[in-house]
Structure 1
């Protein structure tokens, strides 16, 4: 029969002491892992943010749905595009020249050439988008033949679109141009005695909205649907497939120093290769847009030629 040791006596076998340092070490390792993960995650966010690029793009008609598709496609490639809307064709080019915008997309080559020569700037095309046919519309008549002699027809008042509109009116048999029709034709080129109608120049944004008071008007593609008109109702239109139509190819334009910028070139590719964008452009144009992927060198050569012709015209 065993006896129980008295209180306060030393146990026969002393229990081992608990070693705390492995627990401390494990805790430190766990903290280090968590901290490391946080740093890695935060650093990854910073690195990803640093890799993203931002571009300010000026357009006329930012409400067109395909611009949202373009922004989404660009964002997937790490490019945040701010689309800046303009109501006046005369504003986006100075904004690029002065550095308020990185690039713009609203004009054709003839318009850009006219701007460069008049302003002394050197904006350049870096990619094509589409050629849009120019149409003659009327709310009073159903055909060109129905337009009475002496009636008034409006054309855009900016130089490049005015010349194109006058050539269209000539091809429709409504006027005669003394020069035969060139990219420099203006109202002074109209042979009034040989023409069936009188021609009036209006701001491009007003030609469509003035149709109630006119026999007809040549309306830029941008303003057809906005004015409640139907592309299919045009009494006449020019042919965007004509090889001579290249100067009327719409383009992305940048400062001359930026023509080789990889981000801007990538945005052109995104525009040309994103199906939603291409389909959206055709839809907004009523199916009339002829989409382009013309080599940049051809666009720049066309610009040089039109600028040279413009300077020669002024001499």
Structure 2
């Protein structure tokens, strides 16, 4: 089979691409998925990471046409997938997807795992958690899942105390201010990095630490991705329930997981701190079902 072309496009180009194509799946065509006529539409956050270019080449070498759509906001790729603008996305962990499914009444599903990434606390003013003064302001992402995870990191670091010890569903409202050393502000994940000049420290998602000229090694605190409790934070490829068994999408997962140069690039981008996984899809789905049931019961 001849190699197909692949390209990275921005999220703003998606609408124009759809208007130019006939009705159908993410690629807007009745042609077989992954062909020139109907390239796979893969949504990611942070397509500028070098390993995505390596991944494109590996996909192309297998004769699959792919467009990598780069989003800057975590809240965009799932709706784009649900609405048929994408065929698959890869940017989120299980808890994030569970929250989306429950809130949107959707049934997106995992079709493969990538890695567990540590979430870090960064500061351009202080070299350690101990140096942060009492009463200082610390920022966390405002999306439900990363907010809770960030708050747990702050608690582990001794900066705050959470009501009832905290959980994967904690919010800023659960911070016991009287028992905490710092105050906490929730900001859009995309601007926690740029907030560093104005706050003592900030929880910054890995996709955005480069915005502050930081690396994962600069974190002054982070969680432990090897802890069993981190399982729901496994990052995944996700698609619609209708496409869960698509062979081309399954091949994309295999290429990601089994191309050494891609895996090395993922580790390099995470400063060596990521834990790569090839978790069985049924285990990913079981975890998703469990987390969704917990959210729905709250």
Superposition TM-score tier, normalisation by shorter sequence: 0.7 to 0.9
Question: Partner residue of 2:259?
Answer: 274
Structure 1 residue 241 corresponds to structure 2 residue 241:
no
> Does structure 1 retain, via aligned residues, the 8 Å contact 2:114–2:276?
yes
Task: Tell whether the 8 Å contact from 1:109 to 1:251 is kept in structure 2 after alignment.
Answer: yes
1:32 corresponding residue in structure 2:
none
- 1:115 alignment counterpart: 100
Contact 2:119–2:223 (CA<8 Å) still a contact in 1?
yes
Contact 1:116/1:123 (CA < 8 Å) preserved in 2? yes
| Equivalent position of 2:146 in the other structure | 161
Q: Separation in 2 of the partners of 1:120 and 1:50?
A: 29
1:66 counterpart residue number:
51
Q: Over residues 24-59 of structure 1, what are the superposed CA-to-partner deviations in whole Å (9 max), with x where a residue is unaligned?
A: xxxxxxxxxxxxxxxxxxxx98xxx98963210000
Tell me how many residue pairs correspond in the alignment: 267
Q: Which residue of 1 aligns with 2:129?
A: 144
Gap runs ≥5 in structure 1: 1-43
**Which SS does the other structure have where 2:256 is aligned?**
helix
Structure 1 partner of 2:184? 199
Equivalent position to 2:87, from 102, 107, 110 = 102
Per mean C-alpha deviation after superposition, the further-off stretch among 98-107 and 229-238 is 229-238
Deviations 1:47-104 (A, max 9, x none): xx98963210000111111111111111121211110010111110011101110000
The correspondence of residues 123-138 of structure 1 with structure 2, limited to 5 A, is 123-138=108-123
Asked which structure has the greater CA Rg, the reply is 1
Q: How well do the aligned residues superpose, as a CA RMSD in angstroms?
A: 1.5
Match of 1:182 among 160, 167, 183: 167
Contact residue 33 and residue 248 of structure 2 kept, 8 A: no
Partners of 1:233 and 1:58 lie apart in 2 by 28
Equivalents in 1 of 2:265, 2:105: separation in Å? Answer: 35
Rounded to whole Å, the distance in 1 between the matches of 2:147 and 2:167 is 11
1:287-306 map, 5 Å: 287-306=272-291
Contact 1:51 1:78 in 2 (8 A): no
Out of 65, 68, 87, the position equivalent to 1:83 is 68
Distance in 2, Cα, partners of 1:306 & 1:159:
13
Equivalent of residue 244 in structure 2, options 254, 259, 279: 259
Contact 1:124 1:254 in 2 (8 A): yes
Cα pair 2:126 2:132 within 8 Å, conserved: yes
2-structure distance, mates of 1:86, 1:51: 22
Give me the whole-angstrom Cα distance separating, in 1, the residues matched to 2:32 and 2:274.
Answer: 37
Please state how far the C-alpha of 1:186 moved relative to its aligned partner: 0.2
TM-score (norm 2): 0.87
